[in-house]
Structure 1
Amino acid sequence: MSATRRTALITGITGQDGSYLAELLLDKGYEVHGIVRRSSTISGNSRLDGIYQAPNTPDQTLFLHYGDITDASMLTNIVRDIQPDEVYNLAAQSHVRVSFDIPDYTGNVDALGTIRLLEALRAADCNARFYQASTSELFGSTPPPQNEDTRFHPRSPYAVAKVYSYWAVVNYREAYGLHASNGILFNHESERRGETFVTRKVTRAVARIAAGIQDIVYMGNLNSIRDWGYAPEYVEGMWRMVQQDTPDDYVLATGEGCVIRDFVQVAFEHAGLDWEKHVRHDSRHERPAEVDALIGDASKAKEKLGWEAKTHWRDLAKHMVDADRQLLDDQLSGRHVRPDQD
């Protein structure tokens, strides 16, 4: 690393947040390293399009390494080799409904994966500042508004694993003096969201229905309330946490709740469609234990980080519909083919 260029390591770099974070850091002059699973798409029609250069080019600033958060020796070796200034742990099995079907795997990745990475920092004698991607699902059935002092009540294997990770970060901060922070991010979406997540499932269906490709989309619980923001704004908050002199834990949220049904209605109406003609209920998409309402209070982040959400959920829904309609048009015309992303 040069005397002026900082180095960052991102796990989960091919995901929604990882790709936006990589772009942000590259724009700030970082050398960025990302860990990708062998099955992940890292070049050609992926979320990293536009920033991933051919390896070994003179101006290369993004480096991708095959690995996995379940491989402790790999994590230690890569941390020792690159000695990053900042580490962002975004790797996860992040689908809440799926975590009920694969709880063991979810725990191995989302809980123990964090411990492996923290231990890698210690084993490699690396003084990097550490960011852990936490989640509003920690709060589960605890009534909103939820902030950094709200009691946790996880309602899924995913949330349980994330509670483990949250307290592991706090423990390593207190026990070993690591500059380690938890970002308790409420739902944040974008056109890069995986297609099985509810917002993207809706906006992708709207695009296909408007194009006459499909007629019905099956949904689970439409009565839940979520606090939805725009992902690029939230990765800026991640970076700001790591820049603080003292590590801490922060909620990032818009502070406004949205009933899933309302998001569906706005998305369909934006394409001139009546949602009630195209949406059907399917209990298979419901969770065994539901989380009724998540609405965050990001006052601490506003005061200490100077961060606040700017994009309203209605504008987000419309933006995602427009993006999915354009993507579908490009695919149908042969201009662009993008693989499904999870």
Structure 2
Amino acid sequence: MTKQKTAIIIGITGQDGAYLAQVLCAKNYRVIGVARRIASYELWRLQALGLADSDDITLGELDIMDFPATLRLLREHKPDEIYNLGGVSSVASSFAQPLVVSEMIGLGTLRLLEAILASGLRPCYYQASSSEMFGHNDTRPTLNVNGQTVNEQSDFAPVSPYGTAKLYAHWLITNYREAHNLHASSAILFNHESPLRDVNFVSRKIIHGLVALSSGSQEVLTLGNIDNVRDWGFAGDYMQAAWAMLQAETADDYIIATGKPHSVRSIVEHAAAALDFDLAWEGEGANTTGIDKKSGRLLVAIDTRFYRPTEPDPLIG
């Protein structure tokens, strides 16, 4: 009989953590899911996937900045696999809280790697890296409106505290893989969305705002730069890829992306059409507005407060 594998998911209450738990439970794993807070209101994603009361999932609280607690967790459960999805996931918030974001993502990863070494265990390790590490690089070929394709060998040049912290953690994985022979892999994740996304992320914000307008709300949907181009995928698919990475005989770094560019503007257009709005754009730049031609209602307006201080290149994976 095949031994049941044990996996630790750090950040199980987030979008990716919930989908990863679904993937692992379907493969008969014993899942140890931890997060900084395990309150009932934090479990809505697991509840949405029917996993909140799963016998295969054990939930607990962990701050990976707490080295002794992390080491105890590893020694108690002796995981075959560890998935580090922890830390702040909002690029915008990293400009407001750079110290918190950098400590959680960068130093949190370092403490986790050191705990693995101290435990004497050798689990397969997954690190959630980010396309934000690529940032902006003047040495890249001239970019077109649809973005420039990058690969695992492309240069990094982050333009946000979030991207910089992710890059520090990414290089830690490379260093510990080579110096300590850990089976540690990084997934360079491009934007990935789902119904489990927080509403403050642009994809959910668009859908939430337009659905409210279709139901009679008078609150206009306000957005930042709608001509930003991103490579958007589905979070559930990306967590299937996360699991597959740790089944490889040799650890490595992988881009997880669709290879297809889409602008924020195009997402607004698709969502508006699905809700039977006849959207028309007027104006340019910060003066752009979106009007429903059927009713003449103002649906979308630009608010420059949502612009980032610095923008990465329009990249696709």
TM-score by length of 2: 0.88
Consecutive aligned runs of 4 or more in structure 1 exceeding 3 Å deviation? 40-45
Paired amino acid for 1:285: F
Is 1:33 matched up with 2:32? yes
Q: Extract unaligned runs of 5+ from structure 2.
A: 141-147, 280-289, 292-298
Residues 108 and 214 (structure 1 numbering): CA distance in 2 closer, same or farther, change over 3 Å? Answer: farther
Aligned pairs (5 A) from 1:142-291: 142=137, 143=140, 144-275=148-279, 276-277=290-291, 278-291=299-312
Corresponding residue for 2:285?
Answer: none
The Cα offsets for residues 235-266 of structure 1, whole Å up to 9 and x where unpaired, read as: 01000100000000000111111111111111
Query: How big is the shift at 1:274?
Result: 4.0
Aligned pairs (5 A) from 1:113-152: 113-142=108-137, 143=140, 144-152=148-156
Corresponding residue for 1:65?
Answer: 60
Paired amino acid for 1:51: L
Percent of aligned pairs with the same amino acid: 42
Determine the C-alpha separation between the residues in 2 that align with 1:121 and 1:225. Answer: 38
Corresponding residue for 1:53?
Answer: 53
Determine the C-alpha separation between the residues in 1 that align with 2:178 and 2:300. Answer: 49
Query: How big is the shift at 1:81?
Result: 0.7
State the number of aligned residues: 289
Determine the C-alpha separation between the residues in 1 that align with 2:13 and 2:234. Answer: 18
**Alignment partner of 1:149: what SS?**
coil
Corresponding residue for 2:83?
Answer: 88
Paired amino acid for 1:36: A
**Alignment partner of 2:12: what SS?**
coil
Q: Is the 8 A contact 2:105 2:169 kept in 1?
A: yes
Paired amino acid for 2:310: A
Q: Extract unaligned runs of 5+ from structure 1.
A: 55-59, 297-342
Output the aligned Cα RMSD: 1.5
Determine the C-alpha separation between the residues in 2 that align with 1:166 and 1:208. Answer: 39
Query: How big is the shift at 1:44?
Result: 8.2
Determine the C-alpha separation between the residues in 2 that align with 1:176 and 1:45. Answer: 36
Q: Is the 8 A contact 1:97 1:286 kept in 2?
A: no
Query: How big is the shift at 1:213?
Result: 2.7
Q: Is the 8 A contact 1:14 1:42 kept in 2?
A: no
Determine the C-alpha separation between the residues in 1 that align with 2:42 and 2:304. Answer: 36
The Cα offsets for residues 52-84 of structure 1, whole Å up to 9 and x where unpaired, read as: 227xxxxx2100111112222211110111010
- Based on CA coordinates, which of the two structures has the bigger radius of gyration? 2
Query: How big is the shift at 1:43?
Result: 6.6
Query: How big is the shift at 1:197?
Result: 0.7
